[in-house]
Amino acid sequence: MTDIAETKKPLGTVGVALRLGGGFFLAIFGAGIAAGVIAAWREHGEFRTGVVIGLGLAALALVGGGWLIFSARGTLALPRSPQVRRSRIALYASLGISTVIGVAAGFAWQMQVSHADPAHGIANMFSATPLSLPLTLTVLAAWIVTVALSLYWHTTLDEIERAEYEFGAMAGLYAFVTVAPAWWLAWRGGLLPEPNGVAICLMVCIVWCVGWGWRRWR
């Protein structure tokens, strides 16, 4: 078979993930150094060599992080074909909105658990303890917006991408109809604790993602 090289080799998924992950890590790292150095400078009031070195390191990390993120711009740019463009816009909007709502909900959650039970903040996420009304409404809004965006996104996918997601969804459905009744029966038989809906939902989502990923990169 004839081996034909790509005329323009696009950046692979792993390459984009590494550049974006590395870029954001360096940017946050640089911002952290800068914040620490400036705080120490304000506290001690002396402009010493350490401050210069620290700010230089922070600048290097910020520039390096910015360059890494900028280098992935070609892959992240919006394509011109209408359907793929709509799909990409929906994906970026979903990521942006869910990040903003997620950070807001995370702060609200931490503020609530730090007052209620500081030692078990993460465990409280999966427990059945009562939540405050503002936090409940925030997380509910986040969930509804995310699902609505996800539904719209699915309508913009091409047939190959849709087949990948549907394979993952089928794997998730089989996981659900296996685990949920089995756990319920095991609970009735005294073998396991009471079924946890959130844990089952998370498990289904993980199986869905694994199924989708296997189908995409097999």
Partner 1 sequence: MNNRLKVLRAERNWSQAELAERLDVSRQAVNAIETGKHDPSLPLAFRIARLFALSIEEIFDDGHR
Residue 10 touching partner 1 (CB under 8 A): yes
Which CB sits closer to partner 1, 187 or 214?
214
Cα–Cα–Cα angle for 30, 101, 103, rounded to 5 degrees = 35
Per CB under 8 A, which of residues 129..188 are in contact with partner 1?
158-161, 163
Burial 151-187 (b: 16+ CB within 10 A, else e): eebeebbeeebeebbebbbebbeebbeebbeebeeee
Which CB sits closer to partner 1, 26 or 72?
72
Residue 62: partners with Cβ closer than 8 Å, 6 or more residues away: 26, 27, 30, 31, 34
Shortest Cβ distance from residue 211 to partner 1 (Å)? 15
Residue 43 touching partner 1 (CB under 8 A): no
Which CB sits closer to partner 1, 91 or 139?
91
* Binding region for partner 1 (CB under 8 A) out of 3-11, 30-38, 51-59, 122-130: 3-11
Residue 8 touching partner 1 (CB under 8 A): yes
23: its two tokens: 């870029």
d(CA 134, CA 195): 27
Residue 7 touching partner 1 (CB under 8 A): yes
Phi-psi region of 45 (alpha: psi -120 to 50; beta: other; left: phi over 0): left
Which CB sits closer to partner 1, 57 or 162?
162
Q: Residues 81, 91: contact at Cβ < 8 Å?
A: no
Residue 14 touching partner 1 (CB under 8 A): no
Which CB sits closer to partner 1, 80 or 115?
80
CA-wise closest residue to 170 among 207, 216, 214: 207
d(CA 34, CA 28): 10
Site map (CB under 8 A) of partner 1, residues 62-91, x = contact: -----------------xxxxxx--x----
Q: Residues 96, 145: contact at Cβ < 8 Å?
A: no
Shortest Cβ distance from residue 214 to partner 1 (Å)? 12
Which CB sits closer to partner 1, 87 or 138?
87
Q: Is 142 helix (H, G, I), strand (E, B) or coil?
A: helix
Residues contributing to the site for partner 1 (CB under 8 A): 2, 4, 6-8, 10, 79-84, 87, 158-161, 163, 216, 218
